[in-house]
Amino acid sequence: MSKTETNEPAGTHINDVLHEAKSSSGQAKPARKRRIFAAVGIVTLLAGSTAIGTTLPDPKSSDAYATLAAEKASVESERDSAESSYASMKSKYDTLQSGITARETKVSSRETEVGKADAAVKTAEAAVKVREEAVTGAEKTKAANTVGDGTWTVGTDIEPGTYRAAADVGSSCYWGIYATGSNGSNIIDNDLPGGGRPSVALNGGQDFKSSRCGKWEKQ
């Protein structure tokens, strides 16, 4: 068997090389020394690599690696489950948000319609109020220009003008026009019409008396 095929330690070869270098010359030249140290370094690295390769186990076959791999798989499973749950919740949220937006649009549209209806109601109420005020005013004016049985001073109690019976009078109707302040002694005009709707012209400075003739309305 050759010397390179023995099982002697790598250090033996290194010592032999150094010994031979020293014995061949009392002091090696610098260039030769550098070559020798380089050779020694290479041999040392090869020896170390061989030793490590034969003593370190495969890390994937260790229990720690298997434990870490199982934990990684568990974390990835939890991550995938969380992502799936998030996607489901996001879909439900988007559906709800879409529904809310649609309802808000409907509410806004209805509010607009209600606002228009309120405006229409207010306009109608204002018109009714105007008509009511007009009717009330007309009724007040009519009431102010309507007289019944009694004695009335023209210009104080009633306005001057032409007055007519509001309905046909009976046979007992009597009316008379007197000078104001005469207490009925100064008759200007009077009548017992006996029917129909008589009318009288009244001026200031006169008193008007009506008996059993009903209402008189200013024309």
- Encode the chain (219 residues) as per-residue pLDDT tens digits: 444 444 444 444 455 545 554 555 444 455 555 555 555 555 555 555 444 555 667 888 888 888 988 999 999 999 999 999 999 999 999 999 988 988 888 898 888 989 898 898 888 888 888 877 767 666 777 777 999 999 999 999 999 999 999 999 999 999 999 999 999 899 999 999 999 999 999 999 999 999 999 999 999
Which residue in 38, 37, 50 sits closest to 10, CA to CA?
50
Looking at this protein, which amino acid is placed at residue 141? T
Helix (H, G, I), strand (E, B), or coil: what is residue 146?
strand
Place of tokens 């001026």: 203
DSSP conformational letter for 186: S
CA pair distance 154, 206, nearest whole angstrom: 6
Kindly give the pairing relationship between strand 187-191 and strand 146-147.
unpaired
Question: What are the C-alpha distances in Å from 35 to residues 24, 28, 29, 39?
Answer: 15, 11, 10, 6
Q: Find out whether 202 and 211 touch, Cβ atoms under 8 Å.
A: no
* pLDDT value at residue 152: 97
CA pair distance 171, 213, nearest whole angstrom: 9
Q: Find out whether 154 and 216 touch, Cβ atoms under 8 Å.
A: no
Q: Find out whether 179 and 209 touch, Cβ atoms under 8 Å.
A: no
- Token pair belonging to 172: 């007992």
Q: Find out whether 206 and 178 touch, Cβ atoms under 8 Å.
A: yes
Q: Which residues pair with 154 in a beta bridge?
A: 158
* pLDDT value at residue 136: 67
* pLDDT value at residue 5: 44
Looking at this protein, which amino acid is placed at residue 95? T
